[in-house]
Copies of this chain bind each other. A is one copy, B any other.
Amino acid sequence: MPRVVWLTGLSGAGKSTLANAVGKVLLAGGVHACVLDGDNLRHGLNRDLGYGDADRAENIRRVGEVAKLMMDAGLVVLVALISPFRADRRRARALFAPGEFIEVHVSTPLEVCEQRDPKGLYRKARAGEIAEFTGVSSSYEAPDAPELELDTALLAVPDCVARILRLLEFRGVALPIARSGSFPADPQQLAHARKVRVPFTDRRRRGDGS
């Protein structure tokens, strides 16, 4: 059953990491999957677009249309895209039938994203070298009712991956790995995901009493 998992959140929140990790587990389980990564698309399909509001909207519109084409071709599509505005995400969702579109808010707080700063973009944005940077000089509108919310400052990546897989299975995606008992995922499949440092800066918020 093809589906679209739409990961929205700040730069550095962990969207691409989660999309790639889930994609690897799905492919290893024989489920046809692919990742549409906003950053990569800006080198290809969307390389004619900037970061102003109109271009951001067009960026998201195109990614939604491509996700739809790929889902119609039988793929589970993992979209990693900041997609900061509610209206744009609503338009993307509207392309799909109820249940097909799974919105995942990767809600890692700004301060954690900025501390990670994997591409040095926050530093540049604070220095005024990048205009209209989401979270710094452009707003991020959090989803009102995402299907799932994952804060990678509180949850380890394998845990996030497991929750996405569980939701996919609930939505009709047959996951051989899950059924074979090695759920959430083969550790080797998650080697990639481990590359991301998950800083547990506030252990109390994990709710484990430590």
Contacts and interface: CB of A to CB of B under 8 A. Distances in A.
Contact of A70 (B62, B65, B69, B95): B69
Contacts of A65: 44-45
A75 to B, nearest CB: 6
Task: Please name the 9 residue pairs, one residue from A and one from B, whose CB atoms are nearest each other, closest first.
Answer: A34-B73, A45-B65, A44-B65, A66-B66, A73-B75, A45-B62, A70-B70, A32-B32, A70-B73
A74 interface: yes
A68 interface: yes
A36 interface: yes
Interface string A44-77: 1100100000000010001001101110111100
Contacts of A68: 44
Interface residues of A, number: 19
B72 A34 contact: yes
A104 B73 CA distance: 22
Contacts of A95: 44
Given A45-B66, A66-B69, 14 more contacts: A33-B73, A34-B69, A36-B69, A44-B65, A44-B95, A45-B65, A48-B58, A66-B66, A69-B70, A70-B70, A70-B73, A73-B73, A73-B75, A75-B75
